[in-house]
Amino acid sequence: MDTERENHQPLEHSLDSLLRPKVWDEYIGQENIKKNLNILIEAARERGQMPEHVLLYGPAGLGKTTLVYIIGSVLGVPVQTASGPMIERAGDIVSLASTLESGGVLFIDEIHRLNKNIEETLYPIMESGGISIMVGKGPTARSVHINLPPIVIIAATTQVGKLSTPLRTRFSGGIMRLLPYNEEEIAHILIRSAERLDVVLENTAATALAQRSRSTPRTANYLLKRVRDYAQVHNKPSITAEVVRAALADRDIDEYGLTAEDRNVLTTIQEIFNGGPVGVQTLATTLSEDTQTVEEVYEPFLVQIGLLERTPRGRSITQKGIEYLKNKKD
Ligand code: ADP
């Protein structure tokens, strides 16, 4: 094995860092959000303050984390990352905030999964930059006020509806929704990523990949890497539309970007639940998945392209979904 060469090749996960935009110019699309964030940052800078707290929401892989790091670098401050379900005690928030010694960005991902008691600890931090905690027990217990460095909290969620109103309203800098990307934007992202990965991606191939990328940059980059593997193993010097079709057919990904698992969701609703409506928990159990995976991985895109419908009584397959499955069988 050529260990010398291997040692110099980036690992798969560091490829993600290679592909992640680091500056505004590399961040494609989401023009409205970029404009509003720039105004927020610029206005705060002119006042010599940190910007107010921001909540970003939208499906996974649309670029929320990437935005947070770009904001950190524009502000010239460090970013400390935490994830809602991993914050177990009020003290965790305090220590996270205090690691940002001279101020910075505290990024709380998946904030909808934050424990309700911890949520209340966040309020004073968000409002006054300090927190009072009880120290000791019984008669000697006392409240100690801790001043924290000036931080901006940027939170991200895939499910904004699960946040309580008091928490939502404390994001005074704005609640910003990331929108699905159009095919042109995704093709643009793919072309940039191909340059970074040093592979030749023909324009028609970029379009074919963009059509199958579910309007999501993370999926686009994932598919590009898989198609690159296929081209390499089959000794193809460049990625053509034909290579895209062959590589993705091998992975059972169709022309809409739907996988065998996506089709299984639709088939299950149609065949086991007579087209629905079926409650999400029952659906998840039948699919042997957890509810969160159904809600966050499968549903958003199936709903976006009109194959699935969310109703108050549960999930139903649409007429378009029924026709899609019928065409697959023919
Ligand atoms: P999220 O936090 O919303 O799940 P990420 O910020 O982790 O999404 O984005 C996933 C990947 O997609 C990033 O690593 C980056 O390479 C790519 N990406 C996301 N948004 C953009 C964009 N607007 N322009 C270019 N690449 C992007």
Q: What is the pLDDT of residue 312?
A: 85
Q: Check if 20 has its Cβ closer than 6 Å to any atom of ligand 1.
A: yes
For residue 310, the domain's CATH number is 1.10.10.10
**What's the pLDDT score for residue 1?**
41
Query: Are the CB atoms for 164 and 158 separated by under 8 Å?
Result: no
Dist. CA 93–CA 119, nearest whole Å: 10
Name which residue leads in pLDDT, 100 or 212. Answer: 212
CATH of the domain at 37: 3.40.50.300
Backbone angles phi, psi at 188, to 5 degrees: -60, -45
Contacts with 139 (C-beta within 8 Å, 6 or more apart), sequence order: none
- Which among 66, 121, 157, 158 is annotated as catalytic? 158
Asked whether residue 219 is domain-assigned, the answer is: no
Q: Which residue among 160, 177, 194 closes a domain?
A: 177
Please provide the average confidence, as pLDDT, over all residues in the chain: 92
Provide the domain limits for residue 297.
260-329
Same domain (yes/no): 298, 164: no
Which helix (H) or strand (E) segment is 145 a member of?
Answer: strand 142-147
DSSP 3-state of 201: strand
**Residues 273, 141: one domain?**
no
Q: Model confidence at 230, in pLDDT bands (50, 70, 90)?
A: very high
User: What's the confidence (pLDDT) of residue 176?
Assistant: 98
Ligand 1 centre from 61 Cα, in Å?
6
Output the CA–CA distances (angstroms, integers) from residue 3 to 9, 141, 197, 208, in the order listed. Answer: 10, 60, 21, 36
**Quick check: 2 pLDDT over 60?**
no
Is residue 250 pLDDT above 90, yes or no?
yes
- Indicate if 172 and 278 belong to the same structural domain: no
Does one domain contain both 40 and 152?
A: yes
Tell which atom from ligand 1 comes closest to the C-alpha of 66. 6
Residue nearest to atom 12 of ligand 1 (CA): 218
**Of 117, 151, 177, which residue constitutes the final position of a domain?**
177
- The answer on 54 and 159 residing in a single domain is yes
Count of domains for the chain: 2
Residue 1 C-beta-side C-alpha neighbours within 13 Å: 3
Q: Looking at the DSSP assignment, which residues form a beta bridge with residue 187? A: none
269 CA → ligand 1 middle, Å? 31
Has 162 been annotated as catalytic? no
158 and 267 share a domain? Answer: no
pLDDT at 330 > cutoff 80: no
Neighbours of 239 (CB within 10 A): 25
Q: What are the pLDDT digits (tens) for 142-176? A: 888 888 888 999 999 999 999 999 999 999 999 99
Whose Cα sits closest to atom 5 in ligand 1? Answer: 63
Q: How far is the CA of 17 from the centre of ligand 1 (A)?
A: 10
96 pLDDT exceeds 60? yes
Q: How many CB atoms lie within 10 A of CB 212?
A: 20
The amino acid at 217: P
- Residue that wins the pLDDT comparison between 7 and 290: 290
Q: Could you tell me if residue 135 is inside a domain?
A: yes
pLDDT at 9: 62
Catalytic residue at 158?
yes
Nearest alpha carbon to residue 117 among 164, 82, 80: 164
For residue 326, the one-letter residue type is K
Q: How confident is the model at residue 7 (pLDDT cuts 50, 70, 90)?
A: low
Average pLDDT over residues 94-107: 85
Determine, yes or no, domain membership for 65. Answer: yes
Contact 111, 126 (CB under 8 A): no
- The pLDDT tens digits of the residues spanning 282-322 come to 999 999 999 999 998 999 999 999 999 998 899 999 999 99
**Residue 219 CA, ligand 1 centroid: distance in Å:** 9
Does ligand 1 lie within 6 Å of residue 59's CB atom? no
Domain-embedded: residue 173 = yes
> Across-strand partners of 83?
109
Q: Which range, 88-92, 119-123, 228-232, is most confident? A: 228-232
Of the residues 109, 170, 228, 240, which is catalytic?
109
Range in 111-120, 236-245, 273-282 the model is least confident about:
111-120
Under DSSP, is residue 82 helix (H, G, I), strand (E, B) or coil? Answer: strand
39 with 164, same domain: the answer is: yes
Residue 175 CB–ligand 1 contact under 6 Å: no
Cα–ligand 1 centroid distance for 22 (angstroms): 10
Share of the chain above pLDDT 70, in %: 96
Residue 33, pLDDT score: 97
Is residue 101 in a domain?
Answer: yes
Length of the chain: 330
Position 2 in a domain: no
* pLDDT mean over 215-232: 97
Domain assignment present for 294: yes
Tell me, yes or no, whether 270 and 168 share the same domain. Answer: no
Residue 3 has pLDDT above 50, yes or no: no
Cβ–Cβ contacts within 10 Å for residue 90, how many? 17
Statement to judge: residues 37 and 171 lie in one domain: yes
49 and 171 both lie in a single domain: yes
19 close to ligand 1 (CB < 6 Angstrom):
yes
Give the pLDDT of residue 5: 44
Does the beta carbon of 62 lie inside 6 Å of ligand 1? yes
The amino acid occupying position 103 is G
Q: Decide which of 147, 177, 207 is a domain's last residue.
A: 177
What's the average model confidence in pLDDT over 191-205? 97
Does a structural domain hold residue 104? yes
pTM: 0.89
Distance 248 CA to ligand 1 centre (A): 21
Active site residue 267: no
User: Please, which pLDDT band fits residue 4 given cuts at 50, 70 and 90?
Assistant: very low
Q: Same structural domain for residues 164 and 39?
A: yes
216 in contact with ligand 1, CB cutoff 6 A = no
- In whole angstroms, give the CA distance from residue 88 to residue 66: 25
